[in-house]
Amino acid sequence: MSRLRIFDEKHPDAPLSVHAEHAAIARELGKVSVRFEQWAANQPIAPGASQDEVIAAYRSDIDRLMREEGYQSVDVISLKPDHPDRATLRQKFLSEHTHSEDEVRFFVAGAGQFTLHIEGKVYDVLCEQGDLIGVPDGTRHWFDMSEAPYFVAIRLFTNKDGWVANFTGSDIAQGFPRMEPIAA
């Protein structure tokens, strides 16, 4: 189940609020200019589908976002719990960072946890199948895929070269909850 927990940045032990309904999550994230949507495939997707087949299943929503936001490219990334480099890949984005362009992810399958640090609060967003999150450029955040990652996600870019992590040097991410493994 998708979930949003909002914390005071100085109190990672107790959330100020918890939301599990998509409309409430979208409303709360919208207040800080973060996009949160639900998408449904317009055709069946078989396990192991190619990148082109996955993109085709969500083409109308992808095209709408590309028109609205000016994204220029789209791809699909997939990670399973048996990936030999899963620990290294997980560690790569566990510290607070920003990007010079939006980070837009749609979860076709599986889950990932985006944690956003905005205006003295921490927004911990567990995204699951059917969820799209759009984190605006310059937003301090970190991403966790758990020790046993499982997800298939569509990524949209304005410029892939602009999607480089700029680490803030803050250790805030170490104090907040990590993602628990989700069954595949």
Distance in angstroms (rounded) separating the CA atoms of residues 99 and 51: 24
Rounded to 5 degrees, what angle do the CA atoms 30, 131, 156 make?
85
Cα 68 versus chain centre, distance: 19
Q: Let me know: does 95 contact 173? Beta carbons within 8 Å.
A: yes
Alpha helices, H only, 9-48: 22-30
Distance in angstroms (rounded) separating the CA atoms of residues 124 and 30: 14
For residue 159, what pLDDT band results from cuts at 50, 70 and 90? confident
Q: Let me know: does 148 contact 181? Beta carbons within 8 Å.
A: yes
* 48: Cα within 13 Å, side-chain hemisphere: 0
Whether the per-residue pLDDT at 163 is higher than 90: the answer is no
Distance in angstroms (rounded) separating the CA atoms of residues 46 and 108: 11
Candidates 131, 128, 165; CA nearest to 34 is: 131
Whether the per-residue pLDDT at 90 is higher than 70: the answer is yes
- What pLDDT score was predicted for residue 162? 61
Maximum Cα interatomic distance, the chain, rounded to a whole number of Å: 45
Tokens 């966790």 — which residue? Answer: 144
The predicted-structure confidence for 110-134, as pLDDT tens digits, reads as follows 999 999 999 999 999 999 999 999 9
Cβ contacts of residue 43 below 8 Å, gap of 6+?
Answer: 56, 57
CA torsion, ordered 14, 15, 16, 21, to nearest 10 deg: -150
The predicted-structure confidence for 39-89, as pLDDT tens digits, reads as follows 999 988 988 899 999 999 999 999 999 999 999 999 999 999 999 999 999
